[in-house]
Chain A
């Protein structure tokens, strides 16, 4: 296995509810530029570029082609796109680096989640024959999962309120890029009325427009570019069945398998960045991944504090890598999810040089 590391990371400053004046490429360009400028590189120095986004969010056909203009793809570059969170674009870039023909890769993700009715737009990721025609919005599906988890006794309303309060408080303390940053106690969250099903507003993520970008590099090239690369020591992704009725919503077996394959349990973890858009998602992932009770989870505030669709997973990688590169952590877990109710999961272990 070839050593591959994250060597730069940039994100929107800050992520916001709605970027009203700019189109997607105009919103993205400062972020892609910053990720390259940190290393004094241009796109022509990069071996492979991969992005994650979906045109359904802004409602613009081939928006992912227009946004590619923002990185300067002429003369032609080696490039690919995934209709997935940018964490899967990172995975594709990691595979490409494993082949050994290139030493650097550029990964970015972005979304304007605000132009449509987001929970309704997300129904289009469901199967088009039986679930899709019912238009079950994404928050309602999350509420079904929360209800199932409460009924099974694997989460509590109090623990969900704690996650909501802690995430926004950590964003206030640690993350100037976050959208929701405030100190509101778990007791205040617990006193909120139910919003959709058993979910209170604070149990839900914000709707966010934003972007993230990073450079990956292999071996000695990574050491040239960074004083302290965040090495990807293990990475794996797995998928549970698409049909919501075909799986136990109170468990996340695909995340558990991916974590085992990535080697999460081989050594203690300093920091966990879990892509958990809803509060009960974090609690289910903690169980599936075996996160200790006293672990440091989402010090960035996580997706509950800034949730640009198809970007919030890549942000977990960036935040985890930043903690390693700054020396605050030496072993981190980055996780991304996609699909309804934690259907698809990607887990990686990042490490600094000891």
Chain B
């Protein structure tokens, strides 16, 4: 280990006379906006078109048969395109949830509200959506819920066509089952 080189003295900067005494700039705001033509892609488009018909459409991996909804087009386990046109049940199990107690800029929701990860029956990934028609302190992992759609006139190619999920009468899945494929008796 050699001695570090001495730190050079900071050079003295002499401003031109007309800039001497001016107020220093401490921060700048530089607003930026960019517009894009977004392409959802082949697989996600099938999901979005399904929303118009109150259907939740997924695709499966041809190798491991896992079902993704929405599919972005690839199975992350096998690196191959997903395929098929699989209509999923509109019921699922709460896998995880969050009670939101803090308002934030841009939010239109009344607090407190519940955001949940829901595993639809037959799906191998989770959908994040709102849980309503239930008190926040009564939501639990393993609870069964179903999709509630917006009015027919308001259906659009967006997940917002599902207004929210609400509880249904069905015995809870166990915490161990929630989030596992075996809960559906499907492929391991």
Contact = CB atoms under 8 A, between A and B. Distances in A.
Interface of A: 19-26, 29, 32-33, 43, 56, 58-60, 66, 68-74, 112, 114-117, 120-121, 124, 128-129, 132-133
B80 A23 contact: no
Contacts of A56: 34
26 contacts: A20-B39, A21-B41, A22-B73, A23-B40, A23-B41, A23-B42, A23-B73, A25-B72, A29-B80, A60-B38, A66-B72, A69-B74, A69-B75, A69-B76, A70-B74, A72-B80, A73-B79, A74-B76, A114-B37, A115-B36, A116-B36, A116-B37, A117-B35, A120-B34, A128-B30, A133-B30
Contact of A112 (B32, B39, B78, B81): B39
Interface residues on B, range: 20 to 34
B30 A129 contact: yes
Contact of A29 (B28, B77, B81): B81
A117 B75 CA distance: 31
B32 A124 contact: yes
B78 A72 contact: yes
Given A29-B80, A66-B74, 18 more contacts: A19-B39, A21-B39, A22-B39, A25-B74, A26-B41, A26-B42, A32-B79, A33-B79, A33-B80, A43-B79, A58-B36, A69-B72, A69-B75, A69-B76, A69-B79, A114-B37, A117-B34, A133-B28
B28 to A, nearest CB: 6
Nearest to A23: B41
B44 interface: yes
Contact of A74 (B39, B77, B80): B77
Interface of B is mostly: loop
Given A116-B34, A117-B34, A129-B30, A29 B72 contact: no
A25 B70 CA distance: 14
Nearest to B25: A129
B96 interface: no
Contacts of B161: none
Contacts of A114: 37
A69 B125 CA distance: 14
B74 A29 contact: yes
A71 B79 contact: yes
A71 B79 CA distance: 4
A116 B33 CA distance: 11
A25 B82 CA distance: 11
A206 to B, nearest CB: 17
Contacts of A20: 39
B148 to A, nearest CB: 28
A72 B81 CA distance: 10
Contacts of A68: 76
B143 interface: no
Nearest to B76: A69
A29 B78 CA distance: 11
B34 to A, nearest CB: 6
Contacts of A112: 39
Interface in B1-54: 28, 30, 32, 34-44
A19 B80 CA distance: 19
Contact of A116 (B28, B35, B40, B73): B35
A29 B44 contact: no
A115 B32 contact: no
Nearest to A42: B79
Contacts of B79: 29, 32-33, 43, 69-73
Nearest to B81: A29
A33 B44 CA distance: 21
Contacts of B81: 26, 29
A22 B42 contact: yes
Scoring B42, B44, B79 by chain A CB atoms within 10 A of each residue's CB, the highest score goes to B79
Nearest to B43: A26
Nearest to A130: B28
A115 B72 CA distance: 18
B30 A72 contact: no
Nearest to B30: A133
Contacts of B38: 58-60, 115
A29 B73 CA distance: 9
A115 B37 contact: yes
B77 A25 contact: no
A206 B138 CA distance: 57
Interface string B55-80: 00000000000000000111111111
A72 B75 contact: yes
Contacts of A29: 73-74, 79-81
